């Protein structure tokens, strides 16, 4: 396809253009309201939920079991865990003395109880079951590696 020289020049110069901000029509504008961050109070139920999700997110085995057992699917559940962990650290809930005095130190309780629940096969109220037909162990893999190593040594010795 053939473009005229003027069109070609415009196509090459188009990325170099940039928009300049236009000056405000009234430079004497004043701020009418002070924007303040809304004060959010955290209830004990929210603290417990966030602490449990953070405890699950802190352990890769618990996280994998939670993602597998969740009926919502992996992506929405991953977002729940990640947001809870960010909120837990951003609001410094573990060291909030007023919240811990009101609710008890639920983060410590959550970290302890999540592990005991996982040992019973439960993560966040969902039963964790092994996949059907799953074989735990490395018997076949070890034998395959041993056979390959023996074949490699045998081939190398024959040269």
pLDDT digits (tens, 9 = 90+) for 45-72: 888 888 888 888 888 888 888 888 888 8
HEC string of 3-69 equals CCHHHHHHHHHHHHCCCCCCCCCCCCCCCCCCCCCCCCCCCHHHHHHHHHHHHHHHCHHHHHHHHHH
Tell whether 145 is covered by a domain: no
Evaluate whether residue 154 is within a structural domain.
no
Q: Record the pTM.
A: 0.56
Residue 25 or 81, more confident: 81
In a domain, 144, yes or no: no
Number of domains into which the chain is organized? 1
Q: Among candidates 121, 120, 114, which has minimal Cα distance to 54?
A: 114
- Please give the residue range of the domain that contains residue 59: 44-127
139 found inside a domain: no
146 located within any domain = no
pLDDT surpassing 80 at residue 150? yes
pLDDT digits (tens, 9 = 90+) for 96-137: 788 888 888 888 888 888 878 777 777 877 777 765 555 556
Is 133 within the bounds of a domain?
no
Q: What pLDDT does 25 receive?
A: 64
Residue 149 is assigned to a structural domain of this protein: no
Task: Say if residues 58 and 111 touch (Cβ distance below 8 Å).
Answer: yes
Q: What per-residue confidence (pLDDT) applies to 59?
A: 82
- C-alpha 45/C-alpha 146 separation (Å) is 54
């Amino acid at each position: 396809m053939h473009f005229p020289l003027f069109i070609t020049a415009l196509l090459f110069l188009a990325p170099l253009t940039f928009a300049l901000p236009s000056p405000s029509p009234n430079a004497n504008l004043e701020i009418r309201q002070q924007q303040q961050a809304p004060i959010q109070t955290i209830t004990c139920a929210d603290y417990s939920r966030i602490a449990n999700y953070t405890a699950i997110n802190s352990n890769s085995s618990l996280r994998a079991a939670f993602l597998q057992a969740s009926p919502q699917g992996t992506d929405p559940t991953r977002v729940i865990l990640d947001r809870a962990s960010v909120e837990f650290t951003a609001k410094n809930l573990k060291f909030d003395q007023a919240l811990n005095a009101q609710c008890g130190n639920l983060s410590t309780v959550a970290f302890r109880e999540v592990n005991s629940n996982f040992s019973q096969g439960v993560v966040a109220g969902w039963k964790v079951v092994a996949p059907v037909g799953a074989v735990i162990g490395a018997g076949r893999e070890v034998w395959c590696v041993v056979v390959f190593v023996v074949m490699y040594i045998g081939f190398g010795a024959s040269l």
